[in-house]
Amino acid sequence: MPLLALMGLVILAGGVFYFKDVTFLQLKNMDRPKTVQAQIHPSETFSIFYVHSIYGCLSLKNSRPSRVRFVLKGVRTKSPAVMEYYGLMM
């Protein structure tokens, strides 16, 4: 009987986690076999600092996850060309 009760508790706890939204941000370096994964809250904004591949300028992109995609919240850069690339004007 105690084993049956324990199994019921495990199933119930698993059901709670099954219906909870969990979002992971996974960053992968295509040049090296290294992947970094971080759990983020769906309302949490995250930033990615990078060198823009077309214009070669340092940029900081702020995004927030939504149900099926990332929502761009802002871009910081000294390059007007990068801002125009994202449809933003300085």
Binning pLDDT at 50, 70 and 90, where does residue 44 land? confident
pLDDT at 30 over 90: no
pLDDT reported for residue 18 = 62
> Can you list the positions of beta strands (E) in the chain?
23-29, 34-40, 46-51, 58-65, 70-77
Give the global pTM. 0.61
Domain ranges of the chain: 2-85
Average pLDDT value for the chain: 81
| 14, pLDDT greater than 80 | no
> Does 90 score more than 60 pLDDT?
no
Phi, psi of 63 (to 5 degrees): -135, 165
Q: Copy the structure tokens of residue 26.
A: 């996974």
Instruction: Average the pLDDT over 55-66 and give the result.
Output: 90
Q: Is 58 exposed, middle or buried (0-12, 13-18, 19+ CB in 10 A)?
A: middle
